[in-house]
Amino acid sequence: MKKTHSCGTLTADQMGEKVSLMGWVQRRRDHGGIIFIDLRDRTGLIQVVFDQEKSKEIFHLAESIRNEYVVAVEGEISPRSQETINPKLTTGEIEVFVDSLTILNSSKTPPIYIENDIDVDENLRLKYRYLDLRRPEMQEKLFLRHKIIKNIRDFLDLEGFWEIETPVLTRSTPEGARDYLVPSRVKSGSFFALPQSPQLFKQLLMVAGTEKYFQIARCFRDEDLRADRQPEFTQLDMEMSFVNSEDIMNIVEKLIVDIFKKVLGKEVKYPFLRLPYREAMSRFGTDKPDTRFGLEIQDISKLVADSEFKVFTGALASGGVVRGINAKGASFSRKEVDDLTELSIKLGAKGLAWFMVGPEGLKSPINKFFKTEQLEELSQKMNAEDGDLLIFVADSQKVAEEVLGRLRVHLGEKLNLISEEDNFLWVTDFPLLSFDDGEKRYVSNHHPFTSPVEEDINLLEEEPLSARAQAYDLVLNGVEIGGGSIRIHRRELQERLLKLLGFTQEESYEKFGFLLQAFEYGTPPHGGIALGLDRLIMLMLKARSIREVIPFPKTASASCLLTDAPAPVNTEQLDELFLRLELPEKEDDESEEKGC
RNA sequence: GGAGCUGUAGUGUAGCGGUUAACAUGCCGGCCUGUCAAGCCGGAGAUCGCGGGUUCAAUUCCCGUCAGCUCCGCCA
C-alpha cells in the first residue's frame, strides 16, 4: 500500500476518489457502533470513519487504536451530510469511509499533548522533542525555516553568489568568544577549534577570487546562553570583493525585503534607516535601538547647570551629563515611580530624579532646587504635558546612556508603546577600537580584520579611539541580527592593527601568518556580513526564543535533554587522545561510562 | 561566576505545620451509530525534584543541592 494523498490537502474536489492515507491518530471518538478517527499528517487532519456494519473485522481493529498510533487506511472520499460538516477543519466537508486498515505502529500515551498552545514544562518538550515537533505550530516553524533558507539560497544564487563550505575543524584564534575545542588524535597535544564564524576562510575565498560567497554556516561559541543565544547557531555568512559598505547594506536590504515578501507576504519598508553609532547611543542609549516607539533620551545638562540641585551639578562638575526621558502619559503612582528608581539603581544609576507632570506643571520633591523659569524651560525641552512622567539620570555619559537606554525599553513595554511592525535599521560609524580597562589594551569592537574608515587611518597611532570602523550592524526591533564590515586587505595595515591590539610581531605571525601571507598575493578589497539566522527567523515568526525555531536546542546550561549530551567518555577514548581529566573536587559517585 | 522565578498523579494546577493530598484533563474498563474538546457510568494513578535541619509532627518552615526558565557578567 502506498500513501496516495496527504490528509490536510483533501477537498471536495476528490469526491468519490479512492485514497490511501497514512498518518498519526490525533483522536478517536468511539460511539459504540461507529468510530471516528482524526488522522493527522504534516499537512493537517481529516476524519476517517469506521462503520460496524461495513466490516466487523476492521471495526474491531479500529477499537484498539489509541492516540498517536500510526495507521494506514484506504477508503473513499465521501461528502458529509449538511449537519455534520465541521467548519473548523479545512477538510471538514468530507470524510473517508474506511474499507482497509493497517496499524503500522502503536504508541504509548505521549507525555505531552500533540496540539498547539500547550502549557507544559520546557523540560518535557525538550526531552521529548520529537513529540513536541509533531505539534502543528512546530511543524509550521520547521517548514517556514526551510522556506526562508531556500529563499535565501535562491536569491543569492540569482545575485551571483556561490555557496561554499568551510571547515568545521579549524584552528583556535585569539580574541572573541571562548572556543569549543576538539583534540587531535593524530597530532597529540594539539587541538582543533570549532569556528565562531567562518571569518578568515571567507576572506581567503576572496583572495581565491570567488568574488561573491555565501554559506549557511553553523557557528560555535562556548559562552553562556540567553533566550536569543545558543552555543551553536546558524549564520548566513556573506562576503564580496570590490564593494563598499553601501553595496553590502544594499544587497542585504534587498534580500530581507525579498524573503519577507516571499515567505511571509509582508512588505518591508526600505531603504532602512542608517543611524551613526554615536547618535544611536545618545538618542536611544544602545547600539541596537528599538525604534518602534519614541521615548527618546534628551540631554538637559546645559539647562540644569546652574540649578541648586547638587546631584545634577555635581555630576556635571565631574564631567558627566544629565539626561532624561519623558515617559509620555505614564501617570504612574508613587509606588510605580519608586519601583522605577529601584530598577535604575539596579542598572547602575545612583538614583533617579523625576517630575510628575500635572495640570499646574512639574511636581517633584526636588522642585525647590529649581527656579520657576528653569522648570518652565525643562517642561518645554521635554515636551511635558499633563499625565507625563519625566525621569533623569545624572552620571557619566556612559552610565546615563546605558541606564536610560534600558529604562526606555522597560517603559516602552510597560506603557505598551511597542507596535507590531518590523522595524529594520543599520547602525554605522562604530568606533574601530575601545580600551579594555581590565586587560589594559585596545580591543576591536567588531573584529581585528575590520578596516578603519580611510580618512581615519592616520589616527590609528596617535588617537586610536577616534578612528571609525567601516562596520555596520543590522538591527530589527531592538535585536542585533547581523553585523559586518569592509575588511583590511593589505598586509601592512593588518599588521598595524594587530600591533595596536597588543600582539607582538611573533604572535601575529604565529596566529595569523597564513592570512598575512595571503594578503601578499593580490588580495582584492572585500567586505561582508553575517546574519544570525536563528534570531532573524525567531523575529519573523514572532517566537519568544530562538529555541522555538531551532529543532534541537540546548538548555541554559548548554546541554541537550534529548540525548543527554554532553556526557562523559570512557578512559580508552581519553587515552587515545592522551588526555587526562583533572576535575575540581566534588563528591561525584559513578559518573563514568555513559556514551551516546 | 552572580541574582531572581519555578519544581505536587502522565499533563496542567490547587492546597496546608497534623487532610484519606484536591480539581481538571489524560489513561484503563463498561455503555452508546454522527461525533469532531463526543457523552454517560465506574476505576487505577503522587516516595509533593533530591539531601539535610527545625519540630511531637514537614509536601508545607529553614539550609543546601539538582534541573528548567529569565536577567547581569561573558558573547572579536
CATH number at residue A391: 3.30.1360.30
Q: Is residue A15 part of a domain?
A: yes
Q: Are residues A178 and A271 in the same domain?
A: yes
Q: Are residues A266 and A361 in the same domain?
A: no
* pLDDT surpasses 90 at A488: yes
Last residue of a domain, one of A414, A444, A466: A414
Instruction: Please name the nucleotide lying closest to A173, CA to C1'.
Output: B76
Question: What is the gyration radius of the CA atoms in chain A, in angstroms?
Answer: 31
Percentage with pLDDT > 90 across chain A: 89
Percentage with pLDDT > 70 across chain A: 98
Q: Is residue A112 part of a domain?
A: no
Q: Is residue A159 part of a domain?
A: yes
Give the pLDDT band (50/70/90) at residue A500.
Answer: very high
Burial classification of residue A92, based on how many CB atoms lie within 10 Å of its CB (0-12 exposed, 13-18 middle, 19 or more buried):
middle
Check residue A174 and give its pLDDT.
Answer: 85
Closest CA to A237 of A271, A275, A206: A206
Q: Is residue A286 part of a domain?
A: no
Higher pLDDT, A341 or A263: A263
Check residue A106 and give its pLDDT.
Answer: 95
* pLDDT surpasses 90 at A440: no
Which residue is closest to B73 in terms of CA–C1' distance? A224
Q: Are residues A543 and A436 in the same domain?
A: yes
What's the CATH code of the domain at A13?
2.40.50.140
Task: Give the CA A141 to C1' B36 distance in Å.
Answer: 26
Which residue is closest to B36 in terms of CA–C1' distance? A86
Instruction: Please name the nucleotide lying closest to A227, CA to C1'.
Output: B70
Q: Is residue A52 part of a domain?
A: yes
Q: What is the pLDDT of residues A185-201, one digit of tens each?
A: 999 999 999 999 999 99
Q: Is residue A114 part of a domain?
A: no
Last residue of a domain, one of A414, A444, A475: A414
| Three state DSSP letters for A336-361 | HHHHHHHHHHHCCCCCCEEEEEECCE
Q: Are residues A188 and A266 in the same domain?
A: yes
C-alpha cell at A211: 568574488
Question: Whole-model pTM?
Answer: 0.94
Q: Are residues A225 and A303 in the same domain?
A: no
* Cα–Cα dist A102/A96, whole Å: 15
Last residue of a domain, one of A354, A389, A414: A414
Task: Give the CA A121 to C1' B60 distance in Å.
Answer: 23
Instruction: Please name the nucleotide lying closest to A444, CA to C1'.
Output: B76
Burial classification of residue A586, based on how many CB atoms lie within 10 Å of its CB (0-12 exposed, 13-18 middle, 19 or more buried):
exposed
Q: Are residues A429 and A543 in the same domain?
A: yes
Instruction: Please name the nucleotide lying closest to A443, CA to C1'.
Output: B76
Q: Are residues A241 and A156 in the same domain?
A: yes
Q: Is residue A558 part of a domain?
A: no
Check residue A585 and give its pLDDT.
Answer: 63
Q: How are beta strands A389-395 and A424-428 bridged, if at all?
A: unpaired
* pLDDT surpasses 50 at A506: yes
* pLDDT surpasses 80 at A591: no
Which residue is closest to B76 in terms of CA–C1' distance? A176
Q: Are residues A479 and A388 in the same domain?
A: no
Strands (DSSP E) found in A113-269: 162-163, 181-183, 191-193, 212-220, 232-241
Query: Do you know the residue count of chain A?
Result: 596
| Averaged pLDDT for residues A251-265 | 98
* pLDDT surpasses 80 at A584: no
Task: Give the CA A34 to C1' B30 distance in Å.
Answer: 16
Task: Give the CA A30 to C1' B11 distance in Å.
Answer: 23
Task: Give the CA A122 to C1' B70 distance in Å.
Answer: 13
Contact A549, A141 (CB under 8 A): yes
Give the pLDDT band (50/70/90) at residue A259.
Answer: very high
Which residue is closest to B25 in terms of CA–C1' distance? A113
What's the CATH code of the domain at A206?
3.30.930.10
Using the CB atoms, write b or e for A183-200: b if 16+ within 10 Å: beeeeeeeebbbbbbbbb
Find all residues with CB under 8 Å of A373, minimum gap 6, and list them.
Answer: none
Q: Is residue A392 part of a domain?
A: yes
Q: What is the pLDDT of residues A354-407, one digit of tens each?
A: 999 999 889 999 999 999 999 999 999 999 999 999 999 999 999 999 999 999
Task: Give the CA A95 to C1' B39 distance in Å.
Answer: 22
Nucleotides of B under 7 A from a protein CB: 1, 10-13, 26-28, 31-39, 67-76
Residue A213 belongs to domain spanning: 139-275+424-548
Check residue A583 and give its pLDDT.
Answer: 83
Q: What is the pLDDT of residues A290-325, one digit of tens each?
A: 999 999 999 999 999 989 999 999 999 999 999 999
Task: Give the CA A535 to C1' B36 distance in Å.
Answer: 38
Q: Are residues A203 and A99 in the same domain?
A: no
Instruction: Please name the nucleotide lying closest to A64, CA to C1'.
Output: B28
Q: Are residues A321 and A404 in the same domain?
A: yes
Q: Are residues A174 and A100 in the same domain?
A: no
Task: Give the CA A86 to C1' B37 distance in Å.
Answer: 13
| Averaged pLDDT for residues A478-505 | 96
Closest CA to A197 of A159, A161, A238, A225: A238
* pLDDT surpasses 70 at A280: yes
| Mean pLDDT estimate for chain A | 94
Q: Are residues A306 and A410 in the same domain?
A: yes
**How many structural domains compose chain A?**
3
Q: What is the pLDDT of residues A151-170, one digit of tens each?
A: 999 999 999 999 999 999 99
